[in-house]
Amino acid sequence: MCFLSNGARARQSFSVCCILLYVGIEYLTVLLPLLHERDALCILSFSGVSFDETYPLYQSSSCPAIDVQFNCQLYDRPDTEYLKYRWKLANCELLRFNGLEFLLKMKGKTVMFVGDSLGRDQWESLICLISADVSKTQTQLSKS
């Protein structure tokens, strides 16, 4: 969760928090299916983050799935550079997420998120990633 308080250190902490929330959730739910086939057996080891001008993959301010209290862009933050980072893995190349391809691979299957607010954040991020690529699709949500 991102907490706001006064001071430069708090703003820096808020930036790191939002980077981890945005970038981390993006890959937690979809990491393995996006590996190149030739890299399918590689060991997933984190080697840092890298700046990428093509990010973010979706605009949190226009995604209806994100709860207001978790939408970092609604708190008058003047810059968006912190959204342009992505996970960098050692010896693995990640493909860019494709919502349509994900839906086709998951057709007839069930996705379930179990857990606390982090699980909910992952669900929200996945919905935003899919809706950014496939804006006109029928969805079914089951909260049970």
Residue 3 domain-assigned (yes or no): no
Quote the number of domains for the chain: 1
Q: Match 């030739």 to its residue by tokens.
A: 38
138 domain residue, yes or no: no
Cα 30 from chain centre: 9
Range of the domain at 37: 8-133
Average pLDDT over residues 133-142: 67
81 lies in some domain:
yes
More confident residue, 58 or 38: 58
pLDDT digits (tens, 9 = 90+) for 10-53: 444 444 334 444 444 444 444 555 544 445 555 666 678 889 89
Query: Residue 26 has what DSSP assignment?
Result: H
- Asked whether residue 24 is domain-assigned, the answer is yes
**91: region left, alpha or beta (phi > 0 left; psi from -120 to 50 alpha):** left
Query: What is the reported pLDDT for 122?
Result: 86
Biggest distance spanned by C-alpha atoms of the chain: 50
pLDDT at 86: 84
The answer to whether residue 26 sits within a structural domain is: yes
Q: What is the pLDDT of residue 17?
A: 39
Q: Does the pLDDT of residue 133 top 70, yes or no?
A: yes
In a domain? residue 143: no
pLDDT value at position 45?
67
- Flag whether 86 is in a domain: yes
Within a domain: 118: yes
Phi/psi of residue 26, nearest 5 degrees: -55, -40
Q: What is the pLDDT of residues 80-110, one digit of tens each?
A: 888 888 887 777 777 788 888 998 988 898 8
**pLDDT of 2 higher than 60:** no
What gap in Å lies between CA 53 and CA 35, rounded to an integer?
21
